[in-house]
Amino acid sequence: MKYILETKNLTKKYGSHYAAKDINIHLEKGQIYGLVGRNGAGKTTILRMISGLSQPTGGTFDVFEKEGLNNPVTRARIGCLIENPGIFPKLSARDNLIIKCKAIGVPDIKVADELLEMVGLSDTGKKKAGAFSLGMKQRLGIAMSLIGSPDIIILDEPINGLDPQGIIEVRETIERLNTERNISFIISSHLLDELSKIANKYGFIQNGELLEEITAEHLIEKCTKRVEISVNNTEKAMLELDKMGIKDMMVIDKNHINVLEGIDRTPDMLRQLINANIDVYELVRKNESLEDYYINITGGGKNV
Ligand code: ATP
């Protein structure tokens, strides 16, 4: 099975306005999929449809190759944390989890302790959830979404409004669940740099449309723009690189050259320069940032 979740022209139209149009998302087992877009791009709309919280006006989706629309069996394989985690503020984390277990018919409430452990909240005891930090509340929300052992977790802007420590804790929780439990994630965010620390696939959304779907590996490749080389003799270095057939390069100053082609030939470049007795101080691939890439494909505007 290639995809555990696949949307097929998933569409949501409000009046004449498309909040999401012909969305085709492909999630593989074990992937962390970053759904990236500005406010109002359509991320929540898409996630709500996949989570069964709203009905598409067009298209459908498959979960583990079975029709996912209005299907309680496939629905149970997806856990979600969208908008409000639905936490009772006067109850402890454990009691919140027990209530949800009972509500959705999970008989073994020992699951609550396991889940607290998984999200790093097992030492919160009787402390009321209302007194938790935002990061702790998010982790409790993630624990709630894990009840019923779903294979896919959907998180809508899980780090929005968190302080740096909260962001790290939520990120580490996601990474742990992904590596230890092989849970796949779809995570929406407009915080690209943060998302790039964990996502291995991206979908870029703008105006309700999926502009591009790309793996992190391929994205890094696409963002790799140049090799910056620092040497004691740029003239000699350029002659050596030229011998390798490299023509697209420029001198930046008396010690630096930028090479704009043959990006994947850095080991050969290094060997060539060293064999010619040139001192190489540094040879490094420089990337366009993920944010720059996003700005380029969406046609400008820094407000991501
Ligand atoms: P945000 O990060 O701000 O939540 P988003 O990418 O999740 O943004 P959505 O909430 O999915 O965006 O909204 C996409 C578009 O659909 C917006 O133009 C929004 O105004 C519109 N929209 C969403 N829900 C409704 C609704 N119930 N009725 C009408 N329009 C809606």
Q: Calculate the CA dihedral of residues 127, 128, 130, 131 and round it to 10 degrees.
A: -20
Closest-CA residue, ligand 1 atom 20, reads 40
Does 304 have pLDDT greater than 50?
A: no
Contact 22, 36 (CB under 8 A): no
Atom number of ligand 1 nearest to Cα 15: 29
Q: What is the pLDDT of residue 300?
A: 60
Give the position of tokens 């087992």. Answer: 29
Write down all domains in the chain, each with its CATH number in brackets: 5-220 (3.40.50.300), 226-286 (3.30.70)
Ligand 1 nearest-atom number relative to CA 19: 16
The whole-number pLDDT of residue 303 equals: 42
Please tell me the pTM assigned to this model.
Answer: 0.81
- Ligand 1 lined by 44 (C-beta under 6 Å): yes
How many angstroms does the Cα of residue 40 sit away from the middle of ligand 1? 5
97-144 tens-digit pLDDT: 999 888 888 877 788 998 999 899 999 999 999 999 888 998 999 999
- Taking the centre of ligand 1 as the mean of its atom positions, its distance from the CA of residue 45, in whole angstroms, is 6
Q: Is 40 in the pocket of ligand 1 (CB under 6 A)?
A: yes
**What's the pLDDT score for residue 156?**
94
Which atom of ligand 1 has the smallest separation from the CA of 37? 6
- State whether the beta carbon of 37 lies less than 6 angstroms from ligand 1: yes
Straight-line distance from the first to the last Cα atom of the chain, in angstroms, rounded to the nearest whole number: 34
Cα distance between residue 266 and residue 219, in whole Å: 19
Distance 15 CA to ligand 1 centre (A): 13
Tell me how far apart the alpha carbons of residues 242 and 225 are, in angstroms, rounded to a whole number: 19
How remote is the CA of residue 2 from the centroid of ligand 1, in Å? Answer: 30
pLDDT tens for each residue of 193-230: 888 899 999 999 999 999 999 999 888 877 777 899 99
pLDDT digits (tens, 9 = 90+) for 60-82: 999 999 998 888 888 889 999 99
Q: Which residue has the higher pLDDT, 32 or 138?
A: 32
Q: Which residue among 43, 155, 157, 207 is best mutated to probe the pocket of ligand 1, counting the most ligand atoms within 8 A of its Cβ?
A: 43
Inter-residue contact 252 to 238 (CB < 8 Å): no
* CA 20 / ligand 1 centre spacing (Å): 9
For a mutational test of ligand 1's pocket, the pick from 25, 36, 39, 45, i.e. the residue with the most ligand atoms closer than 8 A to its C-beta, is 45
Rounded CA-CA distance 14/172 in Å is 37
Q: Return the ligand 1 atom nearest residue 45 CA.
A: 11
Residue nearest to atom 25 of ligand 1 (CA): 14
Q: How far is the CA of 41 from the centre of ligand 1 (A)?
A: 7
Q: Is the CB of 43 under 6 A from ligand 1?
A: yes
* Distance from C-alpha of 268 to C-alpha of 266, rounded to nearest angstrom: 5
Q: In what order do the strands lie in the sheet with 32-36?
A: 78-81, 152-156, 184-189, 32-36, 201-206, 209-215
Please give the pLDDT value at position 31. Answer: 97
45 within ligand 1 shell (Cβ under 6 A): yes
How far is Cα of residue 263 from the mean position of the Cα atoms in its chain?
26
